[in-house]
Amino acid sequence: MAVADWPPIEKMFTSTTPGRALASRFVAGDNLAEAVAVARRLNDDGCLVSLDLLGEEVADRESAGHAVAEYLECLDQIESQGLDGNISIKPTQLGLAFDEELANQALERLGKRAAEIGTTVTIDMEDSRYTEATVRMFERGQAGTQNFGIAIQAYMKRTATDLERLGGLGGHIRLCKGAYVEPSEIAITTKAGVDGAFAVYLTELMMRRDVTPAIATHDEELVALALDLAKDRDESFEFQMLYGVRGDLQSRILEEGHPLRIYLPFGSQWYPYLTRRVAERPANVWFFVKALIGSR
Ligand code: FDA
């Protein structure tokens, strides 16, 4: 069991003011209304947004149904508030962990509603237990309303094959480094190795005409590489970054006139998301520790 999965650690974060303060740096609010207000502000600043209802690994049909209802509400708000945004979903939030068909039907419903209002649905990529089924979900979605995107993780050794497999399906491909702990049999585990793989896939994606690359990184060197490759690309692409991460780099990209979408998580189920943000940058935890000491 990872330290973050130990119930007392989770309780320490979720039930204390410093824990919630740390979460609020990365999470747009506890509910949709708060997230919509942040989305409006980001749109006004020139950013696109991707609304992400926090929650994953749901274990029953009822919870999966709640997630679908909340996402439909989210799409209604995007339409009624005239937001420039789409939604990002985790397949296990739609029931993938126990019923792939249920998750597919939910995704199709969301895809149809998103198409009605002229927007898209990005399928987040979770840990390797779900990679194959997630790729299948994207394939099925694209065979229908054709307004889907999928996140692909540079650290996975299968990614080269997946990118080949997804060729010709259109949609958008969000290239990210990968946020889960995976064994070395199936994933690259060194930072240099992951960064190198990202650069190779980025180069390939930026040459492809059949997909819209969504470059999801805060790594300045990779952003610079993307900008260099973009000089030879007439078709669209966008940068994607996480809410609360590298605001300076986000501002610079906007100032230079490049499209930037902010991934905007909201909702009460923020703990797993927060643990991934802390794992990427352990220094984040010092903010929590200092606040915790200060509050005593
Ligand atoms: P890297 O980790 O090397 O960080 C580069 C620099 O960014 C750091 O030096 C630091 O300055 C800053 N930084 C990065 N993370 C930070 C943090 N948490 N706090 C503060 N500063 C930080 N993963 C996945 O497995 N499935 C998915 O579906 C997605 N989806 C996704 C969407 C979007 C829009 C983004 C930007 C990222 C994801 N990810 C993801 C997460 C991704 O895989 C990766 O874990 C993080 O983006 C961190 O990697 P970087 O590319 O930023 O590089």
Three-state SS string over 18-30 comes to: HHHHHHHHHCCCC
Q: ∠ CA(75), CA(82), CA(171), 5° rounding? A: 55
pLDDT at 1: 58
Question: How many whole angstroms separate alpha carbon 115 and alpha carbon 107?
Answer: 12
Ligand 1 atom closest to the CA of 155, numbered from 1 = 43
pLDDT at 19: 76
Mutation choice for ligand 1 from 122, 152, 281, CB with most ligand atoms inside 8 A: 281
Predicted confidence band at 291 (pLDDT cuts at 50, 70, 90)? low
Residue 155 has pLDDT above 80, yes or no: yes
Residue 58 has pLDDT above 70, yes or no: yes
CA-proximal residue: ligand 1, atom 43 (nearest): 178
217 near 253, Cβ under 8 Å?
no
The per-residue pLDDT for range 1-26, each reduced to its tens digit, is 566 676 666 776 777 777 777 888 89
Q: Count CB-CB contacts under 10 A for residue 96.
A: 27
For the chain, helix (H) and strand (E) counts, in that order, are: 12, 8
Residue 202 has pLDDT above 70, yes or no: yes
The per-residue pLDDT for range 25-40, each reduced to its tens digit, is 899 999 999 999 999 9
pLDDT at 221: 98
Query: Mean pLDDT score of the chain, rounded to an integer?
Result: 93
| CA proximity to 123, closest of 278, 113, 133 | 133
pLDDT at 3: 66
277 ligand 1 Cβ < 6 A: yes
Q: Count CB-CB contacts under 10 A for residue 58.
A: 22
Contacts of residue 126, defined as CB under 8 A and 6 or more positions apart, other chains included, come to 56, 90, 91, 92, 134, 180
CA–centroid distance, 280 to ligand 1, in Å, is 7
173 ligand 1 Cβ < 6 A: no
The owner of tokens 């508030």 is 81
Tokens found for residue 270: 């923020």
Active site residues: 124, 174
The per-residue pLDDT for range 107-132, each reduced to its tens digit, is 999 999 999 999 999 999 999 999 99
CA 259 to chain centre: 16
pTM: 0.95
CA–centroid distance, 30 to ligand 1, in Å, is 22
pLDDT at 293: 64
What single-letter DSSP state applies at residue 58? -
pLDDT at 294: 62
CA–centroid distance, 277 to ligand 1, in Å, is 8
Helix, strand, coil share (%) of the chain residues, nearest 5: 55, 15, 30
Question: How many whole angstroms separate alpha carbon 48 and alpha carbon 277?
Answer: 21
Percent of the chain topping pLDDT 90: 81
CA–centroid distance, 27 to ligand 1, in Å, is 14
48 ligand 1 Cβ < 6 A: no
Tokens found for residue 36: 């919509």
